[in-house]
Amino acid sequence: MSQTLNNSIELSQNNPLHSLEEWEEDLLNRYPDPHSIVKEGKTTQEYRNYETPTRDTVKEFYRLNHINQTYDFVLHQKAEFLKFDNKEMAVWDAVEFLNQLVDDSDPDTDLDQLQHLLQTSEAIRADGHPDWMVLTGFLHDLGKVLCLFGEPQWATVGDTYPVGCAFCDKIVFSEFFQENPDSNNPKYNTKYGIYKPNCGLSQVHMSWGHDEYFYHMMKPYLPEPALYILRYHSFYPQHRENGYEHLMDERDRQMFKWVKLFNPYDLYSKNPNPPNWQELKPYYEDLVAKYLPATLKF
């Protein structure tokens, strides 16, 4: 077998999703829009009881995620990527860079990354929330550039969860954690693992992906609630399932109000009508300039 063929097999085996959006589409199966439920006259319960057959690609994606996200892997990724020595870009260039991740599996309904960011931020703005929250909506997925640095999908997107302690059974496809080496390591496989009860999530290592990466990048610039949104917006096992109360402190509980407020804008703002970027650009240029330096180190 040729080297190229080997590489492409390796790539697709490591990256089962047709696009990063497939993970987010699957989230909508798990957490359907409550408003569309009301419109169609269905109750949340009916929706919950309806088991959408999850596509094999999503299942395989979670299998890879769950067996590979170990405590050591997370520390390794942090040491590697939190040096921020991959690329220096203005926010605009980063958005354009990210837009190379185009979903070609369903061109009619899927919008590019810029549209998702803008639809999220515009929905937040329309509801009159503070400008830093609008900016957070606009930036929240920029960490997905990890994928363009050659990182596998399972280390870029997906639900996030703590490592260094037992994996909660409320995590989607939690059965796959049986194959994660940490599940057999007595240091990490107890309820608290290396942590203390209610130590606070700032003490906790989260599984590695775009959330953790971009949170660290924004630490010097954005207010605390924005940082909570960035770090935990894919932490469905807590913000939707309450599976990690035992690690949270009072501050986390207060700040998670913002994470929960943000989540529907991320999940349910998708709309087939793309916002007019040319019209909106001056507003976002001012907003970015208010909080961020001219370039960011990725």
Within 10 Å of residue 92's Cβ, how many Cβ atoms?
12
Cβ proximity to Fe ion: between 144 and 182 the closer is 144
Distance of closest approach, residue 265 Cβ to Fe ion, in angstroms = 9
User: 182 or 266: whose CB is closer to Fe ion?
Assistant: 266
Nearer to Fe ion among residue 119 and residue 193 (C-beta): 119
For residues 203 and 11, give the distance between their C-alpha atoms in angstroms, rounded to a whole number: 34
Residue pair 188/164 in contact (Cβ under 8 Å)? The answer is yes
Q: Should residue 212 be labelled a site residue for Fe ion when binding is judged by CB under 5 A?
A: no
Helix axes 224-232, 131-139, angle to 10 degrees: 30
- The tokens describing 189, both together, are 């496989």
In terms of Cα–Cα distance, which of 202, 166, 208, 209 is closest to 187?
Answer: 166
State the minimum distance, in angstroms, from the CB of residue 260 to Fe ion: 15
Tell the smallest beta-carbon distance from residue 204 to Fe ion (Å): 19
The Cα 248–Cα 277 span in angstroms is 39
Measured from the CB atom, the residue of 21 and 182 that comes closer to Fe ion is: 21
Of 176 and 232, CB closest to Fe ion: 232
- Please state the closest distance from residue 159 (CB atom) to Fe ion, in A: 10
Among positions 21-80, residues that touch Fe ion (CB under 5 A) are none
Local structure of residue 156 (DSSP, 8 states): T
Scanning 60-68, 133-141, 190-198, 238-246 for contacts with Fe ion by CB under 5 A, the matching segment is 133-141
- Smallest distance, Fe ion to C-beta of residue 210, A: 6
Give the distance, in angstroms, between the CA of residue 72 and the centroid of all CA atoms in the same chain.
Answer: 20
Position 141 contacts Fe ion (CB under 5 A): yes
Residues in the interface with Fe ion (CB under 5 A) total 2
Nearer to Fe ion, 195 or 256 (CB): 256
CB atoms within 10 A of CB 216: 17
User: What's the min distance (Å) between Cβ of 115 and Fe ion?
Assistant: 11
C-alpha dihedral sign at 293, 100, 69, 243: positive
Hey, how many other C-beta atoms are within 10 angstroms of the C-beta on 72? Answer: 13
Residue whose CB is less far from Fe ion, 154 or 195: 154
Could you give the string, one character per residue 91-130, with x where binding to Fe ion holds by CB under 5 A and - elsewhere? ----------------------------------------
- What is the smallest separation between the CB atom of 214 and Fe ion, expressed in angstroms? 9
Stretch that binds Fe ion, among 8-16, 89-97, 180-188, 258-266 (CB under 5 A): 258-266
Q: Binding of Fe ion at residue 266 (CB under 5 A)? A: yes
| CA-derived radius of gyration, the chain | 19
Helix/strand/coil percentages in the chain, nearest 5: 55, 5, 40
Binding site for Fe ion (CB under 5 A): 141, 266
